[in-house]
Amino acid sequence: MREPDRSSKRLKFAVVLLLSMCSVTHAQSPVPPEHSIQLMYERCKGEMAGERGHYCLGYVEGVAQVMIINGALGRDEFSMCPRPPVGLPSGAAMIQAFMNWAEKHLEHWSEMEVVGVSLALSSSWPCGK
């Protein structure tokens, strides 16, 4: 039986290495605390209580604008569809929708803030099929 040459050994090693890397399940990267749903909830709660700052309002409205465009384009993912006669909800209504959602979904508090805001808005103003 002939012994495999070096290039054949290298190729086999590369294939085994690649397959082992692909089979490893990657844990989700930890979310920096300053971008968590929990901190977003605390910021929004402070703003609703009259504290200075408009981070929450700007963030929620920015996410909402992208989601409304996605809804208008007929995309199912990451979309919201406010309907007449109410039309576009106010910033305060969208913040309240996020806060209500966050209070019911404590299990998501360590996830990215955009996840919580988008899930809250899409559940409050869903797009029909």
The DSSP output letter for 90 is P
Mean pLDDT computed over 73-89: 84
Spatial distance between the Cα atoms of 100 and 121, rounded to a whole number of angstroms = 11
The percentage of residues in the chain with a pLDDT greater than 90, rounded to a whole number, is: 51
- pLDDT at residue 123 above 70? yes
Q: Is the pTM of this model over 0.75?
A: no
Spatial distance between the Cα atoms of 29 and 50, rounded to a whole number of angstroms = 34
Nearest to 97 by CA among 127, 65, 68, 119: 119
Could you give the 3-state DSSP secondary structure of residue 112? strand
The percentage of residues in the chain with a pLDDT greater than 70, rounded to a whole number, is: 72
Structure tokens at 41: 């909830």
Which helix H or strand E contains 93, and what residues bound it? helix 91-104
- pLDDT at residue 120 above 80? yes
Identify the residue whose tokens are 């384009």.
73
Choose between 32 and 63: higher pLDDT: 63
8 Cβ contact partners less than 8 Å away, ≥ 6 residues apart: none
Nearest to 123 by CA among 115, 33, 23: 115
Q: Return the minimum-mean-pLDDT range out of 62-66, 81-85, 103-107.
A: 81-85
